[in-house]
Amino acid sequence: EVSEIESYLKETSPDKPDKNGELYGIAEDKNVIFVSVESFQNFLLDSEVNGTETTPFLNELKESKDTITFENFYHQTAQGKTSDSEFIVENSLYPLGRGAVYFTHAANEYNALPEILNEEGYETSVFHANNASFWNRDVMYDNIGYDEFYDEKSYEVTPENSFGWGLEDKAFFEQSIKYLQSQEKPFYSKFITLTHHFPFELPEEKAHIDKYDSNSKTLNSYFQTARYTDEALEQFFQQLKDAGLYEDSIIILMGDHYGISDFHNKAMGQFLGKEVDPYVQTQLQRVPFMVHIPGYEKGGVRDKVVGQIDVKPTLLHLLGIEESGDMTFGDNMFAKKKKDFVALRDGSFVSEEYVYTNEVCYDRSTGEPLSEAEAEACQPIKEKVTQELSYSDNIIYGDLFRFYDFDKEEE
Ligand code: GP9
Ligand code: MN
């Protein structure tokens, strides 16, 4: 079966690897600072509550010439939430439909990003101020090759600097800098934030934006913790500059998954000024994805449909690491001939032209359901999505990478 999957992937991603493509190797030998931003959805960007911007720093970053922003970037997580998001990014495989791969298949053979980067001479680390065994991270991280995991125990957590899930993001970043400085260069470091997590609670004196006013307590406070994390990120950028780590690094910001579930559709509809139907609900699965390259100066907002599955190939492309024998379901986001759809774990998908969910095919540009005849256009994509998800599942359930030689074409 592995060779069948291999041929499928070759056929669906003809541009891989893309050595002469746009931005190949632009970040060669640079450090990579990857920030997984908890529960952060796209609609927060450019939003306002009572006339105050929710995310002034991220809005400014998005407009910066040194940032490439993908405004149609989808999370593809399922029950494994943050851990699914990590899994997709590290492997360019889909998470499972049930359970969390981080728990159920932590001992599998993978060809994960940290392993690849280790071989290329990077020091690799994760920073996250929670218990190391949460989501079975300690076990999985060992397996996929992270050199260091700075967990809760690496931080000074006091009643003053913690609330909700634990250490607050501002203290988290501040206390991380010294560890980051000790990394051997080039390094790949992943930061996972925590403050902007359900139930989105924040001590009043730390809130710098009003609560929203709706029937959803969750949505109302969502803006306050988002604003807090926006401030924490702003401070982090400054701390990186002060520590002399900024210039030689690229910084990637990504939302891990939604924070507002469909349970809050009424309040969400009030905020958006339109009913949250399944089309809108699918579009709400967009999360920020920004690539910040200091000194780049040619950034901008791109509208291509992309997802978490594309992050690994994209990063390797930017770093100029050719992986001709890799098996990834995603594509480098800068490829000319990119796969034409992003599959969500429940079988929904988004292509440049269509949004398909709950067995309805919508015109992506208008949000209108298509007629039965027109809806036929979704069928071939739907079949590919089903095929792809099942190939990925088979790799995980059968631990199929045990039988695959990732280096074969380079020999
Ligand atoms: C826990 C944090 C949150 O360590 O990553 O996990 P989530 O509940 O979002 O999956
Ligand atoms: Mn999360």
Looking at the whole model, is its pTM more than 0.95?
A: yes
| Cβ atoms < 10 Å from Cβ of 359 | 11
Condensed to tens digits (0 to 9), the pLDDT of residues 77-126 reads: 999 999 999 999 999 999 999 999 999 999 999 999 999 999 999 999 99
Question: Which of 75, 81, 287 best tests ligand 1's pocket when mutated (most atoms within 8 Å of CB)?
Answer: 81
- Provide the residues around ligand 2 (an ion) whose CB is within 5 A: 38, 81-82, 256
ipTM (interface predicted TM): 0.99
Tell me: pLDDT of 349 over 60: yes
Q: Binding site annotation covers 257?
A: yes
Q: Binding site annotation covers 256?
A: yes
Question: Which of 40, 75, 194, 254 best tests ligand 1's pocket when mutated (most atoms within 8 Å of CB)?
Answer: 194
What is the amino acid identity at position 154? S
Residue list, ligand 1 pocket, CB within 6 Å: 81-82, 130, 134, 192, 194, 197
2: confidence class by pLDDT, cuts 50, 70, 90: very high
The pair of structure tokens assigned to 372 is 């039965």
Q: How far is the CA of 124 from the centre of ligand 2 (A)?
A: 21
Q: Binding site annotation covers 38?
A: yes
Q: Binding site annotation covers 366?
A: no
Q: Which residue puts its alpha carbon closest to atom 6 of ligand 1?
A: 82
pLDDT at 409: 55
Condensed to tens digits (0 to 9), the pLDDT of residues 277-333 reads: 999 999 999 999 999 999 999 999 999 999 999 999 999 999 999 878 899 999 999
Tokens 């809130």, located at residue: 207
Residues involved in catalysis: 82
Closest CA to 119 of 322, 401, 333: 322
Q: Which residue puts its alpha carbon closest to atom 7 of ligand 1?
A: 82
Say which DSSP state 286 is in.
B
The Cα-based distances of 344 to 140, 252, 254, 280 in angstroms read 23, 22, 17, 14
Condensed to tens digits (0 to 9), the pLDDT of residues 167-195 reads: 999 999 999 999 999 999 999 999 999 99
Overall average pLDDT of the 253-272 stretch: 98
Nearest-angstrom CA–CA distance, 54 and 208: 9
pLDDT at 14: 77
pLDDT at 411: 42
Identify the nearest ligand to the CA of 256 by its number.
Answer: 2
